[in-house]
Chains A and B, each alone.
Chain A
Amino acid sequence: MKEFGYQRVLDVPGAVALLGAEPDARYLGGGTNLVDLMKTGVERPGLLIDVRDLPLDRIEATEDGGLHIGATVTNSDLAAHPEVRGRYPALTQAVLAGASGQLRNMATVGGNLLQRTRCGYFTDTAKPCNKRVPGSGCPAIEGEHHNHAILGASAHCVATHPSDMGVALSAFDAVVTYETADGPGELPLSEFYLPVGDTPHLETALPAGALITGVTLPPAPVATVSRYRKVRERASYAFAIGSVAAALDVQDGTVRDVRLAFGAVASRPWRALTAERLLTGGPATAEAFAAAADAELAAAEPLPDNAYKVTLMRNLVTAVLTELTEEAAR
């Protein structure tokens, strides 16, 4: 590991100013991804700015009836929060589906959004990777890609975003708030992650030096009937090979409102807007759910070893929406 400086900060402007003065500095939250990547040399910061003691550790109701989640709230506290469990149950389920109890106690909401892909070529500094070393190539396309992207990838990178939490946040129209030396700003999660294109090393639309201060969830009555379902290669403590966050409002057999987002299929949480549009106002039937999933997945460009994800996602969407229909009827 490269040597680095360390400084704990107690206020947001101080954190932003410190990072502005040290171009190769990084913010340190729980460190569950960053410290791991520093050990392997993928990340080589010259200074860590520890943001864990910033006053960003609260979850508060917003005036319009939504929630604002501070950036240093741990995954554990987010998942256990009564308002989150009651009003956005899929968010609690998504967070609990990720990592382990130990890691969820350490990891923060801001860090979760900024965690890096677990693509084996990205994490191995002996291998080429366009995300880690721009222009070096993407061995995953010809190599090991059974858990790589089927949607929105490019000839330069087929890595997926590993977050479970982000999938639920995407379904609920979360907005990321941040602070820069020039003042605060915000980005809808739908615009937070950049398209892959030929610049896979550029991952987010955050301005240089910005510190994520939190995530705002708008009020979403539909979210009270919501679910996160994750498929993985073992029963627990593994990254998804496919996941769905869904919320559904059904009245008299008709879909009045629906939210749908996919995980582990793209470089970002994949909001399934095509499927949502098809479903809204239509019948709440398994046939309609499958047809909507097919329409969303029509854009899929699978590789030889991850084509199974198209079928997996179709079946997952159908199953989860069917379960939510039954739950709504209770």
Chain B
Amino acid sequence: MAPSTSSAITLHVNGEKYTLPVDHRTTLLDALRERLDLTGTKKGCDQGQCGACTVLIDGRRAVSCLQLAVAAEGRDITTIEGVADGDQLHPVQQAFVDLDGYQCGYCTPGQICSALAVIEEHAAGWPSAVTDDVRPEAGPPPLTADEIRERMSGNLCRCGAYVSIVQAVARAAGVEAAV
């Protein structure tokens, strides 16, 4: 017997539970936007190359365009709509506003979700591809502009607001906004 090609699933998004039937082909991105009306998460390339669709899954950043909705069942999903505390912007959001970390704004939800994770990953001591010495005894690398650029490289900004994005991430992380 051919396997069923759809399932009823429950998604946990921003602390809410949503039960919905999905065709297995549905990505988490399309489920969020088209089914749950959470349109803050943006579709850019739909191929995992631009980062506009970045959300947090179980606290870790992921591209929702390559995440099947059915495979996200039971996982804790945070989208840009779940970042602020009511009307109080998250410090990362506030830094993007204060420092003009965007132009058209289309990539911004993904940039902000990614930046939230970058700050956590760095705080956890994760090295990056530009970290000179990755050995544990070398200690965590300082969050320099180079480190921020490398860690944010999965989020493209076609307006080219990168200079301000780096500064916004640095401010939110509480480090000097080097260039």
Contact = CB atoms under 8 A, between A and B. Distances in A.
A85 interface: yes
B4 interface: yes
A103 interface: yes
A3 B48 contact: no
A22 B25 CA distance: 18
Contacts of B63: 32, 102-103, 106
Interface stretch (B86-94, B97-105, B128-136): B128-136
Contact of B66 (A4, A5, A32, A76): A32
Contact of A85 (B5, B135, B155): B135
Nearest to B25: A1
A100 B154 contact: yes
28 contacts: A4-B3, A5-B24, A30-B66, A31-B71, A35-B66, A46-B3, A76-B121, A80-B126, A82-B136, A89-B133, A89-B134, A92-B127, A96-B128, A99-B154, A100-B153, A100-B155, A101-B61, A101-B117, A101-B118, A101-B154, A102-B51, A102-B61, A102-B62, A105-B62, A106-B63, A235-B149, A235-B153, A236-B153
A39 B5 contact: no
A103 B155 CA distance: 11
Interface stretch (A47-55, A144-152, A289-297): A47-55
B24 A101 contact: no
A287 interface: no
Contacts of A97: 129
Contacts of B154: 99-103, 237
A4 B134 contact: no
A39 B3 contact: no
Contacts of A86: 135-137
Interface of A: 1, 3-8, 22, 28, 30-32, 35-36, 39, 46-48, 50, 52, 76, 79-80, 82, 85-86, 89, 92-93, 96-97, 99-103, 105-106, 235-237
Contacts of A92: 127, 134
Contacts of A6: 3, 7, 24, 68, 70-71
A3 B61 contact: no
A79 B3 contact: no
Contact of A48 (B24, B114, B136, B153): B24
Contact of A80 (B27, B57, B66, B127): B127
A96 B124 CA distance: 15
List 9 tightest A-B contacts by C-beta distance, closest first.
A100-B154, A5-B3, A236-B153, A3-B5, A237-B153, A96-B129, A105-B60, A82-B136, A6-B24
A5 B68 CA distance: 12
A280 B66 CA distance: 45
Contacts of A46: 2-3
A189 to B, nearest CB: 22
Contacts of A96: 127-129, 131, 134
A103 B48 contact: yes
A3 B24 contact: yes
Interface in B1-46: 2-5, 7, 23-25, 27, 46
A237 B5 CA distance: 34
Contact of B3 (A22, A28, A31, A52): A22
Contacts of A31: 66-68, 71
Contact of A5 (B2, B47, B61, B118): B2
Interface string B137-172: 100000000000111011100000000000000000
Contacts of B71: 6, 8, 28, 31, 48, 50, 52
A30 B23 CA distance: 19
Contact of B5 (A5, A30, A80, A93): A5
A186 B108 CA distance: 45
B67 A101 contact: no
B149 A236 contact: yes
B135 A106 contact: no
Nearest to A94: B129
